[in-house]
Amino acid sequence: MRTNRLSHKLRLFVILSALVAAPALAQDRNWEHELAAWRVEHVNDLLKPAGWLSLTGLEWLQPGENPFGAAADNKIRLKGNSAAHLGILRLQANSVELLPPRGGFPPDLRVADAPAKEQLLPVEADNDRNAPHITIGTLNMYVIRREDRYALRVKDSKSPTLVSFHGLNWYDPDAKYRVQAKWIPYNPPKSLTLATLAGTTYSEPVPGAAEFAWEGKTYRLEPVLEDPAATQLFFILRDTTSSTTTYKACRFLYTILPSHGVDKPGELWLDLNRLENPPCAYTPFATCPLPPPQNRLPFALPVGEKRYHE
């Protein structure tokens, strides 16, 4: 009789344990499914015809006229599907004007999806989202501004980097690196000056800090808010794997906003499994920000994306 009672208690214990573990197991499987889907989406973004893998040039403009096209007599000589002379970019008094070459614009050259014409090109400092794109054939170009320097960014949907893409390298998912952080708002937000691999600097607002505990110590990471209407925080960070298995300069992490918004105390999940390489990890023609000193962690984060070229 005693044996039967013990057996019954054991079975009951196993059933209760399974019921308790089931929600956690389902949650873990859902997290892994979401992470796998995010990785696919990340790859698809890179493989877009005008994604970061399509970059083929970053041509800094000189004051005065900068002719561009395939011919050797252009200041900016383009490869790929390009006419001999596409146009002239005239840099003068912090403005860039698009002028026709001798003989006029090629008939298939378009600016902001309209036939090319002589015009002033709007260029915002450190913000390329609204730049009008100059397109012809497989080429997609636009002017960017970094501090007081201007450049023509060139993309090609048939770029060697895009055509020869061989997949990304990832660490295995590890739930240990899903970290719940305390969100500490800065009221008012402070401004942070970021250095870039191009040797320039720019300022971004920092709405607060994410504070978390790791192996008995407390750390803070400061994100920037790239746009007042942004629905994500942008962390630029580096850890000790940067010297061995991950991109040397830094990695990026995008998160949803804190539980009560950026201006109130709350909580924030840092899923470090979503650490991704910056565009500079794939191409030398990108201008990527470097992590501020407070975002350089003294320990390893063996999760997320590894180096691309190794």
Q: Is 289 a member of any domain?
A: yes
Of residues 207, 278, 205, 288, the one with CA closest to residue 247: 278
- Summarize pLDDT for 273-288 with one digit per residue, the tens: 999 999 999 999 999 9
Does any domain span residue 44? no
Domain contains 46: no
pLDDT digits (tens, 9 = 90+) for 222-235: 999 988 888 999 99
Residue 22 lies in a domain: no
Angle at 87 between CA 85 and CA 93, to 5 degrees: 145
Q: Are the beta carbons of 98 and 88 closer than 8 angstroms?
A: yes
Question: Within 13 Å, how many C-alpha atoms sit on residue 248's CB side?
Answer: 4
Question: What mean pLDDT comes out for the span 31-45?
Answer: 96
The answer to whether residues 57 and 139 touch, using CB atoms and an 8 Å cutoff, is no
Mean pLDDT of the chain: 91
Domain end among 122, 137, 163:
163
- Among 115, 135, 163, the domain-final residue is 163
Whether residues 145 and 179 share a domain: the answer is: no
Residues 6+ apart with CB under 8 A from 37: none
CB atoms within 10 A of CB 200: 16
Same structural domain, 291 and 177: yes
> What pLDDT digit, counting tens, does each position of 148-195 carry?
899 999 999 999 999 999 999 999 999 999 999 999 999 998 999 999
Are residues 208 and 185 in contact, defined by beta-carbon separation less than 8 angstroms?
Answer: yes
What lies within 8 Å, CB to CB, of 123 at 6+ separation is 95, 96, 131, 143, 144, 145, 150
* Residue 277 and residue 190 in one domain: yes
Whole-model pTM: value is: 0.85
Provide the domain count of the chain.
Answer: 2
Domain range for 61 is 52-163
Indicate whether 175 belongs to any domain: yes
Shared domain for 105 and 139, answered yes or no, is yes
